[in-house]
Structure 1
């Protein structure tokens, strides 16, 4: 890669692994009361476009109210995504 060639677009393509051995429901909003859009299989990786507060969930990586937007209208609890942080790693969803 050419030095200085990194852009915001390529930064958005960074993916984060889902907790090992866990299938994760993808929801239409930031909480378990939202409908299930699809299910991610164990070992999947997801991009995080933005994050927002929502329902508190306990999972593999602790207890959090942070939800990750992985596609338009698709959210997963950050408790199941290995981001290496307990806080925001992407912009807050507007």
Structure 2
């Protein structure tokens, strides 16, 4: 990565996962997708883009927004404290 590029690590905002939650990371935006890893309690995640998927109820409400946290890795926004019930990043796609 080139320093000063728009996607440099320092430009990313990391959002906390709900306290005490080990969060499933899925290969796509929904509960029907494969779990690719599990985030430990206390994790913080970047959000590269957001998209709609399966509706999930979690500590931060009910939402069909899924957060893309890495290439091919998605978490339900209902488990991420973004401070908003809507989109906080551009839409994927």
TM-score, normalising length from structure 2? Answer: 0.90
Q: Provide the aligned length of Structure 1 versus Structure 2.
A: 88
Point out where structure 1 has 5 or more consecutive residues left out of the alignment.
1-5
Question: RMSD of the TM alignment (CA)?
Answer: 1.3
Q: Between Structure 1 and Structure 2, whose CA radius of gyration is higher?
A: 1
1:31 equivalent in alignment to 2:57: no
TM-score, normalising length from structure 1? Answer: 0.89
Measured in 2, the distance between the counterparts of 1:59 and 1:48 equals: 18
- For residues 62-90 of structure 1, the C-alpha deviation after alignment (integer angstroms, 9 at most, x for no partner) is 00000000000000000000000001000
Q: Which runs of 4+ in 1 moved over 2 A?
A: 6-11
Point out where structure 2 has 5 or more consecutive residues left out of the alignment.
none
- Which residue is 2:76 aligned to? 77
- Which residue is 2:62 aligned to? 63
TM-superposed deviation, 1:8: 3.5
